[in-house]
Chains A and B, each alone.
Chain A
């Protein structure tokens, strides 16, 4: 407890410098700005803004990126409520009741409940992160390569839960991603693998390039092929921002339940914001005395999922920061950002760079506060932004992405590579192959190989070592159970049903 206070005060000391406060503010503002735009979720937003942070010191860069992340998350909910078009996957459920509330003239209430619920969830999950971080970090130090390999297997198994559609295709995308991750120089032998004699491929394919191509460019292409998406903006003047006492009484318990659920599900590999919001919506609907009100503007249907996705988004930092294993595509980008600053994500971050770890934790809470302060008064501006036609939006996104990619290595080869990945992403879209497991695999590929090598080197080539060491065996068993459960026909149809029901 004393440690916690000392750690948090170190964190606030770091995060409250004028510069870091400024970067946090800039991140939150930019994240919201881009997150509000329909069709742009956190992954392309972070990928797009990542280059801006390269010149910053690591602490400021990470604080800004985290700000971008929950800003984008929050902006996505604003879009869901005002336009019936989610900016990102975790806001899909917010559309259901949030947009209905907006059509009933209660947009202001929906927005403020989402903001306040998110703030409450952010506060609680920051404390959860602060309390569990050191404990998990200590556990992680006892991990050897065997445990790490098994942990990554579990993480990738979890990533297939998160993507719906065919399980088989999700798993295949993981393997394809792992293979993409291996392109470049093999660090053990120095051999150039799959580089086709292209010197620029020696360093491998940058994850930002894959993310921008597969998530950014190909999404623009698919949005355009789908025709101009019809948008119904609730452009009536938003009045009555403050919820009534009745609203608060109804929404309060949902916020608490959503927060608890989000904190738990965010930590799971493959979990995070999206899983949390889906689960929370299902829970609220199940325990409600009036389930028939859901989908028609029930305030619980906004309060629960919005709190849950924020809590889940924050606690998904836990495995990334303490174990070095990104649990979802967004965290994979964060891990990549750390690597660019020469910081290997893992338990040593906490001991080696305590001000980075605790500064980030503290900045999360500050960022959440800034979001509430920033968003409720500025809501009129976001609404204006929503009315911007897509024909202006996408060339601007393209221009920023293109220069952003160039700035990573001052190299036009990267731009062409990203265009190629855009084409590949479009192909994946046509074939309904989920891109998120691919991105995650491409980041984990080299790490997995390295740990597999070390584990087998230590065991003298005996593969059973993964089953003999208890923690490793437990992790692998969990992964196997996850895959088997999902492969069972009865449960699979139920999972699809759950996704269908929520989205439809």
Chain B
């Protein structure tokens, strides 16, 4: 599932299923909210971009190009949202958001960033493995700890011993 390939998981919730909620004004929720998102970014780009001098076409200021792009993005977003509420548009619903994987996977990365400079690579890597592993079913402490230890050793060997990255291995208060 790489760029541009909707995997088997994408678009599962499209179509009029019996018993499903009848569509309201918004027929294609994915397009509608994508349009709203684009309009949001566009608005931010234009509003914030107004603070930078526009200049003239012959000598463009830092504000000209972003405001121009923001304007175009806003129009595209608007078109996208309007198309999504046309009665002829096929119904598509958003897939339910699953907070678990999002929280654990991205949370583990954030935890890694927070702990790395002071607690060192070993603690950060172990933490990353343990937290991220909570995102999938079948968590077993022994397995996860063992796997984390092997992975941490690999990281230390490749990045600290091999590539000589300036990063503390052990917590700084223990002498790095």
Contact = CB atoms under 8 A, between A and B. Distances in A.
Interface of A: 39, 41-44, 52, 55, 86-89, 92, 162-166, 168-169, 171-172, 175-176, 178-179, 182, 186, 188-189, 191, 193-194, 215, 217, 219-226, 228, 274, 329, 390-392, 394-396, 398-403, 406-407, 410, 412-413, 415-416, 418-419, 422-423, 426-427, 429-436, 439, 448-449, 452-453, 456-457, 459-463, 503
A406 B105 contact: no
Contacts of A172: 34-35, 38, 73, 76-77, 80
A88 B105 contact: no
Given A168-B76, A179-B70, A431-B30, A162 B4 contact: yes
Contact of A416 (B11, B45, B98, B113): B113
Q: Label chain A's interface by main secondary structure.
A: helix
A324 to B, nearest CB: 19
Nearest to A406: B116
A456 B57 contact: yes
A168 B129 CA distance: 39
Contact of B8 (A226, A398, A406): A226
A460 B52 CA distance: 21
19 contacts: A86-B2, A163-B4, A169-B31, A176-B41, A194-B49, A215-B3, A220-B101, A228-B136, A391-B138, A395-B133, A398-B108, A398-B109, A398-B132, A406-B116, A407-B167, A419-B109, A429-B10, A431-B33, A431-B34
A9 to B, nearest CB: 33
Interface string B137-152: 1100000000110011
Nearest to A188: B62
Interface string B9-41: 111000000000000000000110111011001
A186 B60 CA distance: 11
Q: What are the 4 closest A-B residue pairs judged by CB atoms, nearest first?
A: A41-B2, A461-B58, A415-B113, A461-B57
Residue in A169, A171, A401 whose Cβ sees the most chain B Cβ within 10 Å? A169
A178 B3 contact: no
B68 to A, nearest CB: 9
A41 B5 CA distance: 11
Given A329-B3, A419-B113, A452-B60, 17 more contacts: A41-B2, A42-B2, A86-B5, A87-B2, A164-B6, A168-B31, A168-B79, A182-B66, A194-B45, A217-B106, A225-B101, A226-B7, A392-B147, A399-B152, A412-B114, A416-B113, A418-B109
Nearest to B29: A431
Interface in B39-93: 41, 45, 48-49, 52-53, 56-62, 65-66, 69-70, 72-73, 76-77, 79-80, 83
Q: Label chain B's interface by main secondary structure.
A: helix
Contacts of B2: 41-44, 86-89, 215, 219
B34 A402 contact: no
A113 to B, nearest CB: 23
A408 B14 CA distance: 41
Nearest to A401: B109
A367 B148 CA distance: 33
A429 B38 CA distance: 14
A175 B80 contact: no
A222 B60 contact: no
Nearest to B37: A431
Contacts of A407: 159, 163, 165, 167
A395 B128 contact: yes
Nearest to B148: A395
A206 to B, nearest CB: 15
B49 A193 contact: yes
Nearest to B94: A430
B174 interface: no
A308 B10 CA distance: 27
